[in-house]
Amino acid sequence: MPIINDTLFFDEKAHGEALERALMMSPQEVVMEIRESGLRGRGGAGFPTGTKWMLALSAKADKKFVVCNADEGEPGTFKDRVLLSEYTKLVLEGMVIGGYAIQAQKGFIYLRGEYAYLLEHLNTFLERMRKENRLGDNILGTSFSFDIEIRLGSGAYVCGEETALIESLEGHRGEARNRPPFPVNTGYLGYPTIVNNVETFACAYIVMSKGAQWFAKYGTEKSKGMKLISVSGDCKKPGVYEVPFGITVKELLELVQADRTKAVQIGGASGICIPMSEINRNISFEDIPTGGSVIIFNEDRSMLKVLRNFMEFFVEESCGQCTPCRVGNKKLLEGVEMLEKGECSHRYLNELIELGKTMQIASKCGLGQSSPNPFISIVTNFKDEIMSNSIRGNNGR
Amino acid sequence: MIFPDKNVLVNEVDTLVRKYGNGRESLLPILQDIQRKFGFISDFAMQEVAHQLNIHPVEVYGVVTFYSFLSTEPKGKYVIRLCKTISCELAGKDAVANTLERELNLKFGETSMDRKFTLEYCHCIGMCDQGPAMLINESVYTKLTPSKVIEIIESLK
Amino acid sequence: MADKIVEGRAPVSQKPHTVESKENGDIGGLIEIEINGRPYSVPFGITILEACKRNNIHIPTLCYHEDLCLAGACRVCVVEIEGIRTLQAACAYPITGKIKVWTTSERVRKARRHILDLLLSEHYGECYSCVRNNNCELQTLAKEYGVDFYRFGHIKEKRYEVDRSSYAIVRDMDKCVLCKRCVRTCIDLQEVGVLEATRRGYATLISTFMDKPMLDVICINCGQCINRCPTGALRAKDPSDDIWRAIDDPTKHVVIQTAPSIRAAIGEEFGLPPGNSMTGQMVTALRMIGFDRVFDTNFAADLTIMEEGTELLLRLKRKLLFGDETVKLPQFTSCSPGWIKFIEHFYPEYLEYLSTCKSPQQMFGAVIKTFYAQEMGLDPSNIITVAVMPCTAKKFECNRPEMNSSGFKDIDYGLTTRELAQMIKEAGIYLPELPKSHFDEPFGDASGAGLIFGATGGVMEAALRTVYEIVTGRPVPFENLAITPCRGMDGVRQASVVLNDVKDEWKFLEGIELKFMIAHGTANAKKVMEALIRGELEGYHFVEIMACPGGCIGGGGQPIPTSPEIRKKRAEAIYKEDAELPIRKSHENPHIKYIYEKFLVDGPCGHISHKLLHTHYTKRGKYIV
Ligand SMILES: Cc1cc2nc3c(=O)[nH]c(=O)nc-3n(C[C@H](O)[C@H](O)[C@H](O)COP(=O)(O)O)c2cc1C
Ligand code: SF4
Ligand code: SF4
Ligand code: SF4
Ligand code: SF4
Ligand code: FES
Ligand code: FES
């Protein structure tokens, strides 16, 4: 299923020769080009890709690795699946470009186990690339050699977190690592490693094909380029949309034909939930950052039920190693249960919000740091609904 | 295959270690293949893998229990995983869940006596725009309705 | 510190950092940082925690342990660093820039308090019925942070069953805070691999393979996990109720023996700093408690040296003089029951390398129920033998079915240092203030050689003092008998002495370089065994292995906490006491001479000792069924 809206960026036919162009430049030049484009990671955190690649390029080691993060576990996100199946070339050649830029020898695609059905397609594509000498030894006649291996995940959301992903690649439990050291220094098997989102690699391909200037024409000051947004929930036209950074939530809602909207969850389960009063905010790293998940709730939905779904997700998907996240999410879930039963006092609710804030700063990895987001935003933005549920002793809807 | 013979397992693990290598980083691919082939990873298999990779059985156990798609208990020939995450819930997961339980005569988390079906929940499988969605082994089924579910199950029975 | 074992299996992120300075690459250089608004100059690359420790700034910790690799899991140690949104774990954050750190800001205090509140909300346990009452890191933290109510409620029901299946280790996972110290201990430090985190999320649980009871998995009972557990989740199986019952029973003659390393550590249980020897006071206390006889295991250690040293010489003779190629060399020591179980499981094909000697504890038990019973005219069935050991594996050892060659169980109960201290306290005795007294006859005095068994390298040193002298007729050529290559805390040590001008009966040993090796901690034992398998121990004659880091002074039954520093202090106490003793060699112990004259009349490794003092081993293998 292709991307909806006019695909300006993510269109294989509109591009060509990106790999050829990259290989004619020096690795430093490739990294500079990516830097100039202002490309920031599409996986959620928005770290400047050029900087990441620069750090990995300058790290001294006899081996380096490229990892394409195709774990796409964030609820409501499915744009990577579309990229991998429909725009495969952008992603895979983007990886080769990344490999060249940091002078790596090997790349991994960490494909979530849920997407195992994409394996065959991807392997066939890799095989074709090898035949066409776009992968393997001496790519396109240069001295650069690089190969890509696909590794499957096995059903653990936290393995999308880059250090947990590396642990998983190394055959461990997917528990996030201490940072520093960062993967660009000490990644897979201790070697410098870049981990980037599927879309980031596709964007890198686009940058190399059209040039940094062209890429940077789109988007906002600090969020360059176009973004893929996966839209689901209460709307007429769910799907993957290509939009420029800076698009307001309102515009997006119109695009997907949502009506009677009550709330919009941006950034998946670990994102924030905004009420209609805030729909003029925009999607960008300056305002509301997102890895690309937008979930729409209409007026019939119980926000408590929504919140419960999210919190159950985190209680089960936390890796369980650090206290704030392992126990904290459980306490928040218990709070939701208390709210459902009408047993949660306002004072205790505030206590839980404070706990959420602690989790945001004290958890070891991004999962625990962002898992309180839906809790805090829903109970703050929909306090009346949530507390009225509380008084009535059931959640009504 | 039900409760594989020890020799079969030893050979299998041997083959897999030869295929993927005997470093710890081969652990997941090896376990995934065993899971796919036998429907579970028996305690003997875990020990065999551990010894071949020169790690401790309990480390393998720690890994197997960490990942939702690996299991130490035998699973059915068809493992049905219904997404219970938000978008699918909004799209009507509950009705689908009821239908599945009723038609398979199984509760979530159970495997049928004949080891044909296992019914489980899973989290978002990236089909949120076409929910409710489920996986049966490695295939996806989307826009599920009760009648569609009945049809699918009948075709597998 | 040498016995930190961090190579190998720990994930890279959990190993100590080897960071390079961006500017000048000067590891070891100093860097200017600010802590709580004050300037400090600290070595480049050390962690914030370490920097604070060196400057007497206290940061609470829970998952951090000096002996182990990093976890960074509990988050109790979080601190604020200027310019970073999130708080950072002080134990894991390496200082590589001119950072400004706040260790007690409002955000930090609130976060720590919340983390404690969270841990406590899930902590099912009552301090007054817990072994770790008053020595529990969680309890201490709760007090430090003034926890006076359960902010997030408190768990009402037990979640897990207590596992009492093992002879030595009791697991109560309701008290576990998931710091994974036990996991890191068992996997990295000991290479046994019993415990690991299993499942994930809220369901995470430290467990054994397939959640089997401890008795059914491959645990060597070393108790190192207990010593590093911050809470009462892991504890030793305490036989003191049975011992009190025996003491109170007038028909029973209750004999206690105390291992060499107890005296060096038991003071810690009474608040003394590590490194204070309490030998005389301890003997007094044991009498006051009501033990009928108080013996020194050092005597049995001397006996072990006679047997084990002779065994070594016999092996050398068979091999070198008679060319018997079936003789296995090097000979491995056998006094550490944790090590014995380790080799039985992981290297069952190599059991013949082990000395057949029982451990001193068991030898003593056998002697007490035979020779001593005879001498005293006692019915052995009325004798109860208790052994105070630094070791939890001794609890398993004394229950081995083969340990009853006298017809009676050699040792009835194995008691740890901690449990003994508990009994002493229960008897209303404050140990440090007691007058000193002597061990009972007929095994009153022991040699310094027996005493140093308590530290890693001690058995080797004791054996060399005797073997060298037997062979050459001269004392070992080391100043003041201190065979320094045997001492220290390096994980694996090796050295040699050349045998010159030997006595006539040992002519075949003339000019031979006696090569020996010492290892402590089973991870190091594993290294030695792998070297043996690769054939690299060719030419070695004698290997000492202790299951616990530091040897018995670091045993799993010793006072908690443990650290490289503490173990060093305890070892020093032992060596100091050895140097002060009149008799320093096992073969010069008059009681040893007496027992060979009177009882073990066919000499070391003769028939009687073979029956009573030697044992055999079981090929256990590494499969868990
Ligand atoms: C719990 C968690 C899950 C994550 N899941 C994903 C994911 O599925 N895909 C992804 O690309 N990044 C994911 N990330 C972000 C990665 O940690 C990492 O920032 C990203 O892969 C970096 O790539 P980028 O710079 O190209 O965005 C996740 C982060 C966290 C904390
Ligand atoms: S925040 Fe959660 S997922 Fe991340 S390390 Fe901590 S427990 Fe694991
Ligand atoms: S483990 Fe510590 S806090 Fe828990 S009951 Fe025991 S002493 Fe109290
Ligand atoms: S007693 Fe020793 S072997 Fe057993 S679990 Fe503890 S550390 Fe591991
Ligand atoms: S048992 Fe003890 S050492 Fe092990 S994780 Fe639990 S609290 Fe930590
Ligand atoms: S929510 Fe069900 S597939 Fe994403
Ligand atoms: S002591 Fe630092 S995180 Fe536990």
Domain chopping of chain A, boundaries: 12-216, 226-298, 303-386
Q: Which of residues 211-230 of C touch B (CB under 8 A)?
A: 217
Longest Cα–Cα distance of chain B, Å, equals 50
pLDDT tens-digit readout, C201-250? 999 999 999 999 999 999 999 999 999 999 999 999 999 999 999 999 99
Closest CA relative to residue C261, chosen from C251, C275, C240 = C275
Closest CA relative to residue A67, chosen from A33, A34, A41 = A41
pLDDT tens-digit readout, A146-200? 999 999 999 999 999 999 999 999 999 999 999 999 999 999 999 999 999 999 9
pLDDT tens-digit readout, C89-98? 999 999 999 9
**Structure tokens given for C544:** 């000492």
Residue C292 has pLDDT above 60, yes or no: yes
User: Does the domain at residues A226-298 carry the CATH identifier 3.10.100.10?
Assistant: no
Q: Which chains are within 8 Å of B by 3+ CB pairs?
A: A, C
Residues 6+ apart with CB under 8 A from A156: A73, A164, A168, A174, A317, A319, B66, B67, B68, C200
Residue C24 has pLDDT above 70, yes or no: no
User: Does the domain at residues C2-104 carry the CATH identifier 3.10.20.740?
Assistant: yes
pLDDT tens-digit readout, C528-549? 999 999 999 999 999 999 999 9
Closest CA relative to residue C455, chosen from C280, C276, C575, C582 = C575
Residues 6+ apart with CB under 8 A from C341: C220, C221, C393, C396, C620
Ligand nearest to the CA of C178: 5
Query: Nearest Cβ partner of B59 from C196, C210, C623?
Result: C196
pLDDT band at C11 (very low <50, low <70, confident <90, very high): low
Which contacts of C22-30 are long-range, i.e. CB under 8 A and separated by 24 or more positions?
C22/C96
Residue type, A316: E
Fold of the B78-156 domain: Glutaredoxin (3.40.30)
Question: In CATH, what number does A303-386 get?
Answer: 1.20.1440.230
Contact state of C9 with B43 under an 8 Å Cβ cutoff: no
Out of A49, A69, A228, A326, give the residue to mutate to test ligand 1, the one with the largest number of ligand atoms within 8 Å of its CB. Answer: A69
Residue type, A77: T
Closest CA relative to residue C382, chosen from C294, C250, C242 = C250
Q: What pLDDT does residue C16 have?
A: 53
C87 with C80: CB under 8 angstroms? yes
A104 with A96: CB under 8 angstroms? no
State the Cα–Cα distance between residues C329 and C349, nearest whole angstrom: 14
**Average pLDDT value for residue range C318-324:** 93
Classify the phi-psi angles of C532: left when phi > 0, otherwise alpha if psi is within -120 to 50, otherwise beta.
Answer: alpha
Give, to the nearest 10 degrees, the angle between helix A88-102 and helix A198-210.
80
B9 with B48: CB under 8 angstroms? yes
Q: What pLDDT does residue C165 have?
A: 97
3-state secondary structure of B84: coil
Give the mutation candidate from A69, A78, A317 for the B interface (greatest B CB count, under 10 A): A78
Classify the phi-psi angles of C270: left when phi > 0, otherwise alpha if psi is within -120 to 50, otherwise beta.
Answer: alpha
Q: Which CATH architecture has domain A12-216?
A: 3-Layer(aba) Sandwich (3.40)
User: Does the domain at residues C304-360+446-613 carry the CATH identifier 3.40.50.720?
Assistant: no
Q: Which residues line ligand 3 (CB under 6 A)?
A: C 123, 125-127, 130, 132-133, 136, 138-139, 175, 231-232
Nearest residue in B to C193, CA atom = B56
Nearest residue in C to B61, CA atom = C209
Tens digit of each residue's pLDDT, chain B (157 residues): 456 788 999 999 999 999 999 999 999 999 999 999 999 999 999 999 999 999 999 999 999 999 999 999 999 999 999 999 999 999 999 999 999 999 999 999 999 999 999 999 999 999 999 999 999 999 999 999 999 999 999 999 8
State the Cα–Cα distance between residues A168 and C154, nearest whole angstrom: 34
| Alpha-carbon distances of C20 from C24, C72, C334, rounded to whole Å | 8, 21, 44
Q: What pLDDT does residue A389 have?
A: 66
Q: What pLDDT does residue C120 have?
A: 97
**Average pLDDT value for residue range A253-269:** 97
B25 with A170: CB under 8 angstroms? yes
State the Cα–Cα distance between residues C523 and C212, nearest whole angstrom: 23
Classify the phi-psi angles of B115: left when phi > 0, otherwise alpha if psi is within -120 to 50, otherwise beta.
Answer: left
Ligand nearest to the CA of C232: 3
Whether C335 is catalytic is yes
Nearest residue in C to A170, CA atom = C11
Q: Give the residues across from A315 on adjacent strands.
A: none
| Closest ligand 4 atom number to CA of residue C182 | 7
Question: Within 13 Å, how many C-alpha atoms sit on residue C515's CB side?
Answer: 9
b/e C441-466 (16+ beta carbons within 10 angstroms → b): eebebbbbbbbbbbbbbbbbbbbbbb
State the Cα–Cα distance between residues A73 and B126, nearest whole angstrom: 7
Whether C74 is catalytic is no
Using a CB–CB cutoff of 8 Å, tell me whether A123 touches chain B: no
Domain extents for chain C?
Answer: 2-104, 116-236, 250-299+361-433, 304-360+446-613
Longest Cα–Cα distance of chain C, Å, equals 80
For residue C85, with 0-12 CB atoms within 10 Å meaning exposed, 13-18 middle and 19 or more buried, which class applies? exposed
C254 with C378: CB under 8 angstroms? no
State the Cα–Cα distance between residues C139 and C231, nearest whole angstrom: 8
Residue found by looking up tokens 């066409």 in the block: A132
Task: Please report, in angstroms and rounded to a whole number, the separation of the first and last CA atoms in chain B.
Answer: 18
3-state secondary structure of C311: helix
Fold of the B6-66 domain: Arc Repressor Mutant, subunit A (1.10.10)
Closest CA relative to residue C586, chosen from C424, C504, C476 = C476
Whether C394 is catalytic is yes
Query: Nearest Cβ partner of A155 from B23, B86, B122?
Result: B122
**Structure tokens given for C442:** 């007929």
State the Cα–Cα distance between residues C122 and C160, nearest whole angstrom: 12
3-state secondary structure of C3: coil
Please count the residues of chain B: 157
What single DSSP character describes residue A268? G
In CATH terms, are C250-299+361-433 and C304-360+446-613 the same topology?
Answer: no
Closest CA relative to residue A109, chosen from A165, A42, A181, A60 = A165
C572 with C455: CB under 8 angstroms? no
Q: Give the residues across from C35 on adjacent strands.
A: C38, C101
Contact state of C622 with B51 under an 8 Å Cβ cutoff: yes
Q: Give the residues across from C235 on adjacent strands.
A: C170
pLDDT tens-digit readout, A343-372? 999 999 999 999 999 999 999 999 999 999
**Structure tokens given for C568:** 């060093």
* A108 Cα distance to chain centroid: 17
Residues 6+ apart with CB under 8 A from C405: C366, C611, C612, C615
3-state secondary structure of A164: helix
Q: What pLDDT does residue C23 have?
A: 47
Nearest residue in A to C86, CA atom = A361
Closest CA relative to residue C64, chosen from C92, C93, C103 = C92
Please count the residues of chain A: 397
Q: Which of residues 34-93 of B touch C (CB under 8 A)?
A: 43, 46-47, 51, 55-59, 61-62, 65-66, 72
pLDDT tens-digit readout, C423-473? 999 999 999 999 999 999 889 878 999 999 999 999 999 999 999 999 999
Which contacts of A355-360 are long-range, i.e. CB under 8 A and separated by 24 or more positions?
A355/A328, A355/A331, A355/C114, A355/C118, A355/C152, A356/A328, A356/A332, A358/A324, A358/A328, A358/C110, A358/C111, A358/C114, A358/C115, A359/A324, A359/A325, A359/A328, A359/A329, A360/C86
Give the mutation candidate from A154, A158, A367 for the B interface (greatest B CB count, under 10 A): A154
State the Cα–Cα distance between residues A257 and C99, nearest whole angstrom: 50
Fold of the C250-299+361-433 domain: Rossmann fold (3.40.50)
pLDDT tens-digit readout, C105-130? 999 999 999 999 999 999 999 999 99
3-state secondary structure of A26: coil
State the Cα–Cα distance between residues C155 and C163, nearest whole angstrom: 20
Closest CA relative to residue C300, chosen from C171, C189, C387, C203 = C387
Residue A397 has pLDDT above 80, yes or no: no
Domain extents for chain B?
Answer: 6-66, 78-156
A263 with A274: CB under 8 angstroms? yes
State the Cα–Cα distance between residues C355 and C334, nearest whole angstrom: 6
The domain C116-236 is placed in CATH, from the list 3.40.50.720, 3.30.450.20, 3.30.390.10, 3.30.70.20, at 3.30.70.20
